[in-house]
Structure 1
Amino acid sequence: MNVLIVDDNEIARDALRQIAGRIKDVHIIGECSDAMQAYNLLKEAHADVILLDIEMPGMTGLELTRNLEKGPLIIFTTSKRDYAVEAFELNVADYLIKPVSSARLIQAIDKARELLDSAGEEMKVNDDEFIFIRDSNIIKRLKLDDILFVESMRDYVKLHTAQRFYAIHNTLKTVEDRLPDNRFLRVHRSYIVAVSKIDTIREGVIVIQDKTVPVADAYRSTLNKRMNVL
């Protein structure tokens, strides 16, 4: 896994390098002190993951993420919680608060690795009962009834089941068009849920098997009608 560290604070970069450098299969391809330097580097070098600060002189980490239409997974590393909502709207892999502990960074890297390992999968809908996931030369059959919800994450879409998730390199709109609309419903710009799997709806979130999915205001009325909420 190729990792790029981007932070205007040298001490923060050193700390991240020391932790990440000890994780098996992680290769630090470089360090940048500002976002523009990272943007230019990424034109020539390949990174799977960026450990990215948010508040930096010139271009911010949020702005860099928006300018990377396709590319590395983003793990934000910042001293402030204020940007969390905006960050996750960009579908980043994780959001770490400084000082970043070894355990928390390892968790974030493992999460990114799982997503990358599933990146070769593609989706085909054969009928109303199955989705076929292509992983290299192997085609896996996934029952629609096993899908709890679908989550968009930058260049990937994650199909969540009770046991695991499958990540495919596609857009949420493409997945939405292929899933039967009598069983699945968009409830947020980044989420589609299996209506029959909804346990409760409270305080703007859907709960499905102890997992929470946000409901955007624009979709709440449609959800209520679909659920026949009185």
Structure 2
Amino acid sequence: MLYIWIMNVLIVDDNEIARDALSQIAGRIKDISITGECADALQAYNLLQEKPVDVVLLDIEMPGMTGLELTRNLEKGPVIIFTTSKREYAVEAFELNVADYIIKPVTPARLIQAIDKARDLLESKEEEMTISDDEFIFIRDSNIIKRLRLDDILFAESMRDYVKLHTAQRFYAIHNTLKAVEERLPAARFLRVHRSYIVAIDKIDTIREGVIVIQEKAVPVADAYRAALNKRMNVL
């Protein structure tokens, strides 16, 4: 029998019309189940403590607690997709490693794109990572342990309660902290360059204006890590 994974989605918005519109659009997307609606972030927080969901469609400006504050208070929570009429919170939102940021009015095509991102994150989320030696790591993917060559890892990116290991072909999401991943990756080959990023030193192509480029992917370098990076690369 073919198993179909249904994503449970919670809608959080203080505007009833906006909630209804999102519910109608999301309800027509394949493999989506709307499990609830909340009119404010505090109500959503309390609900999520009792009934975890996969994805939250979350407004930002709401009375009492904002969507940003809710996201910060969810230690190990669902994938967040912000749906808001405000553009000015985008930078702050993505620093929280949300899946997407949609400007209202939400269209079916745009919501499908965001849901696809959320689905990719959820389906690739790994439960465990172990180091066997200096050449491989083993990751648990849907109860199947897979071997991933260290040489294939380009960089690691923190995403709230999990870490994305980027390769040239795809990424793997490890359910862990970046600090824990950093401790397990060989220090001779990998270096922390930002609070949210670890890079493979031998995969760096260029560094310019505070940005590392690895196979056309940009990784920011924080000032606090710049000296260590230059030292490791023997930059003159």
Superposition TM-score, scaled by structure 2 size:
0.92
Q: Output the CA distance in 1 between the equivalents of 2:225 and 2:104.
A: 35
Q: Output the CA distance in 1 between the equivalents of 2:210 and 2:111.
A: 30
Residue 204 of structure 2 corresponds to residue 183 of structure 1: no
Offset of 1:43 from its aligned partner? 2.4
SS at match of 1:42: helix
Q: Output the CA distance in 2 between the equivalents of 1:82 and 1:90.
A: 15
> In the alignment, residue 210 of structure 1 is paired with which amino acid?
E
Gaps of 5+ in 2: 1-6
Q: Output the CA distance in 1 between the equivalents of 2:159 and 2:118.
A: 11
1:119–1:167 CA contact under 8 A, matched in 2:
yes
1:85-100 correspondence runs (5 A): 85-100=91-106
Tell me what 2:124 maps to.
118
Residue 223 of structure 2 corresponds to residue 224 of structure 1: no
Q: What whole-Å deviation, never above 9, does each CA across 1:9-66 have from its counterpart, x for those lacking one?
A: 2222222212211111110111111101111221222211111111111100111111
Q: What whole-Å deviation, never above 9, does each CA across 1:178-225 have from its counterpart, x for those lacking one?
A: 001111111111111111111112222211111111111211222222
Gaps of 5+ in 1: none
1:28-177 correspondence runs (5 A): 28-177=34-183
SS at match of 1:99: coil
Instruction: Supply the RMSD in Å over aligned alpha carbons.
Output: 1.4
Q: What whole-Å deviation, never above 9, does each CA across 1:103-154 have from its counterpart, x for those lacking one?
A: 2221211111121112244211111111111224422111101001101111
Superposition TM-score, scaled by structure 1 size:
0.94
* Count of residue pairs the alignment pairs up: 230
Q: Which moved more, 1:110-119 or 1:175-184?
A: 110-119
SS at match of 2:62: coil
> In the alignment, residue 214 of structure 1 is paired with which amino acid?
P
1:187–1:215 CA contact under 8 A, matched in 2:
yes
